[in-house]
A = this chain, B = another copy of it.
Amino acid sequence: MAQQPHFAKAEVQTPERLSRNRPTAVIAVGGHAFIQKGERGSYEEQSHNADQLCDCLINLIERGYNLVLTHGNGPQVGNLLLQQETCTSDVPAMPLDVLVAQTQGSLGYILQQALLNHLRRREIRRFVETVVTQVVVDADDPAFENPTKPIGPFLTEEVAKQRAKDFGWHVREDSGRGWRRLVPSPRPKRVIQRQSIGDSVAEGHIVLACGGGGIPICVNAETGRYEGVEAVIDKDLTSSVLAREIGAEIFVILTAVPQVYLDFNGPKQRALGAVTLREIEALKAEGHFPAGSMGPKVDAVVDFLRGGGDRALVTDAESLVDALDGQAGTHFVGRL
C-alpha cells in the first residue's frame, strides 16, 4: 500500500531532513514553569505559561538546534494526588508511577500544542513528539531506605499516621503546615526509551521526554520483570542521564533565576558567568550549592560534563536568547 494521504499537501508539515548534523540540546524545565505563583493550575494557566516558554525555546530551533525538552511535574502530580485523596466516588486511586505517566500525557500535550503553534506561526517545518518515558532505578538504591521527598497534600497528623499504618507510607510533619507523605528519590540509571528518543531527534523531530523525571521502574530481581515503583526521580538528574545517552552537545537547565550564584542572598553574593568542570567541582567541595537549592542542578551538570558533555547552561527562560549569545546565564564548560 503506497498511496499518499488524502489531505491537501499544504496542510502537511514535512520535516527539514537536512537536520542530521545539527547540534542537539537537552533542555530541562521545572513543573512550576507551567503553574506559577498564585495560580491553581487551570488548563488556561498552564497553556498560557507553556506558550510563553515555547516562545523562548523557538530561538534554539531558529538557531539550528535539535531539541529535546524535559520537564518537571511537581505541582501537576501534586494536584493529581490531591484528587486521588479527595475523590468521594468509587474510582480506584492510582499509584504514583501511573500518576507520573498521566502528567507526561497531559503536560506533553499542552507543550506540544504550544510548540506546534509557534512553529506554524513561523512556518518552520519540524515535527513535535512526546514520548512516555520509563526510567530505571536500582531496587537497592539507598533512597528506598530513607524516603525524603514530600509529595501530595498536607494532612492532619491523625490521617497521616493512619495512612502510614494502612499503606506503609512514610510521613513527616512539614514546616509547621501539616503532615505529608514522603517518597524515595532514587538516582536515575537509564532511560528505557533512549534509542527511540535519539532516533527521533536525529531525524530533526522536537522530542518531549522524561516528564516528571520519568516513570520510575525497577527490575524485579526474582522475575526479571520491570515494575513501577512509588518514587520520584529528580528531573535534572534524569535529563543529564538522557543527555549523555543520546550524546547531546549542550545540556540546559531553565530555572527561576538568570544565573547561578555563590553566597546566594548573602552579603557576598556573586553571579557565576562561566566555570570549568574543575572550578565547579572545587566550589562544590567548599560547600557551595546546598541540596535544597542549586545542589541537584549543579550535580546534574557535573554528571553531564564528567560523562563527556561539552557544555551546559543554567539560566531562566527570559535570559535564554542572551545566554545563547554568551551575554547571560551561567555557562559550564567541559572537555573540548
Contacts and interface: CB of A to CB of B under 8 A. Distances in A.
A229 to B, nearest CB: 12
CB-CB nearest 6 A-B residue pairs: A105-B105, A101-B109, A130-B132, A86-B89, A102-B102, A42-B92
Interface string A209-222: 00000010100000
A87 B309 CA distance: 46
23 contacts: A1-B249, A1-B309, A2-B247, A3-B244, A3-B307, A5-B194, A5-B244, A43-B95, A82-B90, A83-B83, A83-B91, A98-B106, A101-B106, A101-B110, A102-B102, A103-B105, A105-B106, A105-B108, A105-B132, A109-B134, A109-B228, A113-B226, A127-B195
Interface string A11-42: 10111000000000000000000000000111
Interface of A: 1-3, 5-7, 11, 13-15, 40-43, 79-80, 82-92, 94-95, 97-99, 101-106, 108-110, 112-113, 116-117, 120-121, 127, 129-132, 134, 153, 189-190, 192-196, 199-200, 203, 205, 208, 215, 217, 224-228, 244-245, 247-249, 307-310
A15 B43 CA distance: 38
Contacts of A15: 195
Contacts of A192: 116
B196 A200 contact: yes
Contacts of A79: 91-92
A47 to B, nearest CB: 9
Contacts of A6: 244, 307
A200 B202 CA distance: 12
Nearest to A103: B105
Q: Tell me which of A14, A41, A86 has the highest count of chain B C-beta atoms within 10 A of its own C-beta.
A: A86
Contacts of A5: 190, 194, 244-245
A6 B247 CA distance: 12
A223 B15 CA distance: 23
B102 A190 contact: no
A116 B56 CA distance: 37
A148 B109 CA distance: 25
A322 to B, nearest CB: 25
A101 B127 CA distance: 18
Contacts of A225: 117, 120-121
Contact of A200 (B102, B199, B309): B199
Nearest to A227: B113
A134 B121 contact: no
A41 B245 CA distance: 36
Contacts of A249: 1
Given A106-B105, A195-B15, A89 B226 contact: no
Given A40-B90, A88-B88, A104-B105, 5 more contacts: A2-B247, A7-B189, A113-B217, A116-B192, A129-B196
A293 B221 CA distance: 46
